[in-house]
A and B are shown apart, each in its own frame.
Chain A
Amino acid sequence: MMGFEKFLFYVFSVFLIFSAVMVITRKNPVHSALFLVLAFFNSAGLWLLAEAEFLAIALVLVYVGAVMVLFLFVVMMLDINIAELRAGFVRNAPVAIVVAIAMAVELLIVVGPQRFGIDVVAAPEPRPAGYSNTEELGLALFTEHLYAFEIAAVILLVGIVAAIGLTMRKRPETKYQDPSRQVTVKASDRLRVIKMDAEEKAR
């Protein structure tokens, strides 16, 4: 890796770890969500360094642009009691820290540099200037991974069916507009002109 790229890698990584820690330690859920956005931006930067432009852009567009905005909406609309959620935090923290450290050590042993280091797994050849990541991805999706692509589409369809099936219900008391009846309504249906004698003036 070139000197400047290495520098960028460390900058993005440090910011990524910093913002990830902030996500889980902030008291205010809005701050957590915003730090998560920062974390996504930094990982998008890392992907750019790995020459995965399309994934980097998709991460920013989809996760930052859509998912996190939705998430912020939910956080702001619901009244979440943070104190209640954090009640067991201090009590469970020692166990959690031990488990986390054990997992980190295990991970380092298994996927650490001696197994997946740069000298074991060779770095891929840099692509020529005109290479389009997006085009390659599109070709792979519609040729090599066509079957998986189709199954993913079915999974999304099931998601829609399940979500509507579980949440939509007809309530008889719900009032709603019926445009076709609104259009065909006549003045006489709404307003009745009644002829009646004028009353005598009270004395």
Chain B
Amino acid sequence: MEYNLTTLQPVLPEIVLLCAACLVLVVDLFLSDRTRLVTYGLSLAALIVTVAATQYAAGPVREVILDGSFVRDPMADVLKTGLLLVSLFAFVYAKDYLRELGAFRGEYYVLGLFAVLGMMIMISANSFLTVYLGLELLALCLYALVAFHRDSKTGAEAAMKYFVLGALASGMLLYGISMVYGATGHLVLPEVAAVIAAGTADQTVLVFGLVFIVIGIAFKFGAVPFHMWVPDVYHGAPTAVTLFLGSAPKIAAFALAIRLLVDGLGGLLAQWQDMLIILAVLSMALGNVIAIAQTNLKRMLAYSTISHVGFIFLGLIAGTDKGFSAAMFYAIVYALTAAGGFGVVTMLSRNGLDAENIDDLKGLNDRSPWLAFMMMLILFSMAGVPPTVGFFAKLFVLDAVVSIDLVWLAVVAVFFSIIGAFYYLRAVKAMYFDKPLVDVPLVSSLDTQVAMSVNGLAMLAFGIFPAALLGACRAAFGG
């Protein structure tokens, strides 16, 4: 193909972000600890400029360039915008926490930007090779970020666990990909789909490869029974990293599942549907039940993540455009909610000491009524209480499952989310009805307060007016 500004326009957001990340990397070298805020400002600017570039390159027509390895479609536009905005919130919340921890270094933002780049590559991947490379770029950044606080033993331990299990998952995924390549002879996803549709490929090899690909996806999502790393990594990593790790990558994992399972292996829907049903039911059951037993806030949110992954899978299981758009809505909403939830945890942490236990939430209403209100909205959204957006996210997913006559699955999902409501409400009770353990007033900088207010109120705003985001998700799947 020709390489010029017109033909490369679909890949503009990635190019802009890569240049910006390299710029931040170099500028940061010349900064002292006192002027480190410049790195922070530049990183936020990089994300905002990339959002602008994404909007500039956006359009209703699907474009495939770079010899089939890159695709830009409406789904990619929406997911990239969501991803960049969620990362923006994460970067803002991380600042104060890192400064208190004495770890306010440029690497956090540089590695964060490269991780965002990796996720954007995954979202726009159109061949197995691109999917895998994007995933590795994201994973490498996250391993390093988890070990980011060098004096923390738990951080190093978590990073080691994450690295070993992550490498295993990548190996599984790669093995599955090689099987599918062997059976179809193609790496570009639509061509793989065409060979499968033609029925000339060996079905046994395809299904064998599919099993490994599903395992790889489940590992990256943290679905039961491949969830072992989630609580330990969320708990061991510095909260500023958990915040990033627990939010934006869920959007990328959704894109990974759509690209591989729908764009590439859509012809094997009947096979992966059954596998995902098992993963979804186990995730919702185990995540919600074990979360009740947690006293550590970060671990509780980790198990809550596992249960939400089950819900995202429900939308995929439906196998219809309606289901996919519902899952997409859920993934974006959950990423935003998780960023807010972990954001509050970082704001409660002071003087480098993590506020990790549910007890630390006690009496938050007396210390900071506004923050308590924001946290309440976020927790209600996770629990699925109307009128917050979490309710609609759950509703759309359940609607999609019911419309393919899997009523029992919807009943199971509702049952476990009622169990799950208990531990969210327990946290709300701690904030509003318990006496505070410490009466140190909460101080946070203006940008954090603004971001938290926007994030919390978004739960309410999207809940009352879900049509805009839902419309974008529907449009992404041709509805």
Contacts and interface: CB of A to CB of B under 8 A. Distances in A.
B111 A165 contact: yes
Interface stretch (A54-62, A87-95, A108-116): A108-116
Contacts of A2: none
Given A151-B121, A152-B133, A154-B18, A161 B69 contact: no
Nearest to B143: A162
B354 to A, nearest CB: 21
Contacts of B121: 151
B69 A162 contact: no
A117 to B, nearest CB: 12
B32 to A, nearest CB: 12
B202 A115 contact: yes
B313 to A, nearest CB: 26
A159 B140 CA distance: 7
Interface residues of B, number: 34
Interface in B192-217: 202, 204-205, 208
A46 B180 CA distance: 24
Nearest to B207: A110
Given A111-B205, A115-B202, A148-B69, A158 B137 contact: yes
A161 B111 contact: yes
B205 A115 contact: yes
A166 interface: yes
A109 B202 CA distance: 13
A148 B131 CA distance: 10
Contacts of B143: 162
Contacts of B158: none
B434 interface: no
Interface residues of A, number: 23
Given A154-B18, A158-B140, A166 B147 contact: yes
Contacts of A10: none
A144 interface: yes
Interface string A142-159: 011111100110110111
A145 B141 contact: no
Contact of A145 (B69, B179, B208): B69
B321 interface: no
B67 A165 contact: no
A165 B70 contact: no
Contacts of A201: none
A161 B110 contact: yes
A147 B131 CA distance: 12
A154 B114 contact: yes
Given A151-B134, A165-B144, A116 B67 contact: no
Contacts of B69: 145, 147-148
Name B's interface SS: helix
Contact of B67 (A143, A157, A169): A143
A115 B179 CA distance: 11
B150 interface: yes
A166 B140 CA distance: 13
B466 interface: no
B359 interface: no
Given A166-B150, A169-B150, A145 B129 contact: yes
Interface string A62-80: 0000000000000000000
A115 B18 CA distance: 43
B286 to A, nearest CB: 25
A162 B67 contact: no
B136 interface: yes
Contact of A155 (B105, B140, B150): B140
B130 interface: yes
A158 B182 contact: no
B25 interface: yes
Contacts of A159: 140
Given A111-B182, A154-B114, A147 B137 contact: no
Q: Lowest 4 CB-CB distances: which A-B pairs, in order?
A: A162-B144, A165-B107, A151-B133, A147-B66
Interface of A: 109-111, 115-116, 143-148, 151-152, 154-155, 157-159, 161-162, 165-166, 169
Interface of B: 11, 18, 22, 25, 66-67, 69-70, 105, 107, 110-111, 114, 117, 121, 129-130, 133-134, 136-137, 140-141, 143-144, 147-148, 150, 179, 182, 202, 204-205, 208
